[in-house]
Amino acid sequence: MTYKIYTSYFGNLRKLHEAGIVPISIARWNPRWYKGFTMQELAPTKYMLSDACSVEGYISMYKQILSGMYSGTILKSIESMGKGKDVALLCYEKPGDFCHRHMFAEWFTKTTGIQIEEFASPVVKQVPQYTEGSLF
């Protein structure tokens, strides 16, 4: 495998495009403006997203969803959509927030050995410029 799989959120879409990364939504509902690929089979259910579902219930239900999946089929879908490019699996939550994409990434890594990491846009480090001032 010569490409990487990342997780990210819709707010990073511009940075993903700039980095040449193919976005794939794994959200239950996409933003109206999103016109990219979607993998609904990886999305949480409507009930899981409702106020009636506790965090513990959400985790349990999403683990149950994942237990019924075959990682090889998911990998083939990702490869088909990415066409050899890096891909990012997207939803709404910011990187530090609780989200099913992190649960998916952990499960996928355990079942395939393929590491998935959160996308961090390249940071351009600038060396500070110092000018020697006069003491007088």
- The torsion region of residue 87 among left (phi > 0), alpha (psi -120 to 50) and beta comes to beta
The pLDDT score that the predictor gives to residue 125 is 43
State the pLDDT confidence band at 2, using cuts at 50, 70 and 90.
confident
- Please state, in angstroms and rounded to a whole number, the distance separating the CA atoms of residues 72 and 33: 30
The pLDDT score that the predictor gives to residue 135 is 52
Residue 111 has pLDDT above 90, yes or no: yes
Copy the structure tokens of residue 41: 């089979």
The pLDDT score that the predictor gives to residue 120 is 86
Q: For the residues 35-44, what does the mean pLDDT come to?
A: 95
Residue 14 has pLDDT above 90, yes or no: yes
Question: HEC states along 72-132?
Answer: HHHHHHHHHHHCCCCEEEEECCCCCCCCHHHHHHHHHHHHHCCCEEECCCCCCCCCCCCCC
pTM of the model: 0.85
The pLDDT score that the predictor gives to residue 95 is 87
How high does pLDDT run on average in the chain? 89
The pLDDT score that the predictor gives to residue 124 is 43
Q: Where are the domains of the chain?
A: 5-118
The pLDDT score that the predictor gives to residue 123 is 47
The pLDDT score that the predictor gives to residue 133 is 52
